[in-house]
Amino acid sequence: MSDDARLTQSAAVFSIIIAAILILGKGVAWVDTDSTSLLASFADSSLDIIVSLINFFAIRFAFSPADKEHPFGHGKAESLAALMQSAFISGSAFVLLLHASERLIHPKPIESLQLAIWVMIISLVLTIVLVMYQRWVYRKTGSLAVKADSAHYFSDILATIAVIAALLGGQWNITWLDPLVAILIVLALLKSAFGIAKEALNMLMDHALDPEVAETIKTLVKGNAFILDCHDIKTRQSGNIQFIQVHLDFSANVSLFHAHTQGEWLVAELIKKYPRADVLIHHDPIEQKDGQANGGVKKA
């Protein structure tokens, strides 16, 4: 198993453990207080553990080696997991919106605030630690599943702070604050779900990488005396692997061996900048008029 696979799976396992702890604590606090915002947070954590389990198995499959049926690997399993995560989040958000709206119309006081506040403070600390670890793993691996999970847990941090504020408001009998915070949590969940779905669909539909990748290729080609030009640059991402294809123009006078050597130079330069890239070079011979170039070398 690669280092990327181990790190990504460790992030999934860590999120499962944290989600289980949060479910237990928030469940006890919700039963004790009957707080709508706590119910929203409890339901969110319950979905988190389902999504984290899906991510765990999707990540295992995504990092399995390429085979005859899947020569480009299984990286898009991460995108499918992220898309499922988005659907789960959206569904739970709409259910919570109905419950919070009803409580906003018919508010009721919150009981046993001290326990609930302490539970949410502990939840906040645990979630911050998890997000910091997930972001570190994402920087190391580029895993979309980990990025999606981290984005969702970051919204949990904001939601937890809001729940604490609502519970503190309950001490002053501000009954409308609790369901209002629950509605704000719902909106944060929907925003998170939209962002996750958009990125997952982009990967599934082979959306081009950032334009900076193509600009990097053009800059490298421009600085090479033997490569005349480049064209038909195509990029996409699957899992944490960036696929890059580019056609390079060489003078017809240049030997295939030398053209291949220059192509390998470009591949090496790109991999320095994009370590997980899979680069495919196509060499195109170009007939040049007399005086255009000397021995296949670009004129300054």
Tell me the pLDDT tens digit for each residue of 61-77. Answer: 777 777 888 888 787 88
Across the range 230-244, mean pLDDT stands at 90
The whole model's pTM is what? 0.65
Average pLDDT, the chain: 83
DSSP readout, 155-175?
HHHHHHHHHHHHHHHHHTT-T
Closest by CA to 12, choosing from 72, 82, 99, is 82
Instruction: Among 3.90.650.10, 3.30.70.1350, 2.40.50.140, 3.30.230.10, name the CATH number for the domain at 211-286.
Output: 3.30.70.1350
Q: Is the separation of the CB atoms in 182 and 175 below 8 Å?
A: no
- Kindly state the tokens that stand for 230: 């480049």
How far apart (Å, rounded) are the C-alpha atoms in residues 196 and 265? 36
- Reported as a pLDDT band with limits 50, 70 and 90, residue 295 is low
Is residue 300 classed exposed, middle or buried when 0-12, 13-18 and 19+ CB atoms within 10 A define those classes?
exposed
Would you say residue 291 has pLDDT above 60? no
The mean pLDDT of 161-171, rounded to a whole number, is 77
Q: What is the CATH number of domain 3-204?
A: 1.20.1510.10
pLDDT tens-place string over residues 106-143:
776 666 678 888 888 999 999 999 999 999 998 888 77
Average pLDDT over residues 87-96: 77
Could you tell me the residue ranges of all domains in the chain? 3-204, 211-286
CA–CA dist 282, 270 (Å, integer): 15
Report how far Cα 151 is from the mean position of its chain's Cα atoms: 7
Asked if 42 contacts 26 with a C-beta cutoff of 8 angstroms, the reply is yes
Higher-pLDDT residue of 15, 177: 15
Q: Are strands 229-238 and 241-251 parallel, antiparallel or unpaired?
A: antiparallel
